[in-house]
Amino acid sequence: MGGLDLSFFSFDIISKFVLKGLYFSTELTIGSTIGGIVLGTLLALMRLSSSKTLSWIAVVYVNGMRSIPLVMVILWFFLLMPTLIGHSIGAETSAFITFIAFEAAFFSEIMRAGIQSISKGQVMAAQALGMTYAQNMKLVVLPQAFRNMLPVLLTQTIVLFQDTSLVYAIGAYDLLKGFVTAGKIYGRPEEAYLLATIVYFVICFSLSTWVKRIQARISIIR
């Protein structure tokens, strides 16, 4: 095939094949982050609950999800759900549900650490003011926990963005799928994977730099 075909590295390739995949990968990342944090926070509260039953359920869920490769969860859900509900839900919808369920286990541990980082004195002071458990969590604990854990949450989101490339296994049109499609059509798979690597690196490196700046600002506030 000769050397690299530099003409493949063009905006025409990006606009025709890649932008559609980038849009879905971004949408999947944002949606899964929001859903994962919500579900993860609920799991963290269950794990810290005085109820042994709720705590046990959360422990089993979190440890179970964290012990299984994400690609296996993606494939299991995509292949088994049609059998369970009687019809296919599509690769994109399946990816959203799978990522939220999987990432919740990781966000749960982050939020649990954030909640435990709040001093018991603040919790007791809120109780002394007559706040209920729910009010205490909503107004005192969770806002501070989110602030303390924000850099870690954003770092996990970057990892999540990288993991979105795994939905290629079920045929979803993500960022990687866009590059692979262009490579097949133009017969330049090497250039396609090289360009994909460059784009993923630029996006993730830029986001990581941004997270470091946020972390520095939070450290100053503290």
Alpha helices in 4-141 (DSSP H): 11-13, 19-47, 52-66, 70-85, 91-116, 120-128, 133-136
pLDDT, residue 157, reads 96
pLDDT, residue 1, reads 47
Distance in angstroms between the alpha carbons of the first and the last residue of the chain: 57
pLDDT, residue 80, reads 86
Which pair of structure tokens corresponds to residue 15? Answer: 């606009």
pLDDT, residue 132, reads 80
pLDDT, residue 89, reads 85
Low-confidence ranges of the chain (pLDDT < 50): 1
Taken in order of first residue, the domains within the chain and their CATH numbers are 6-221 (1.10.3720.10)
pLDDT, residue 36, reads 96
Name the residue among 148, 135, 141, 109 with its Cα closest to residue 122. Answer: 141
pLDDT, residue 198, reads 93
pLDDT, residue 85, reads 75
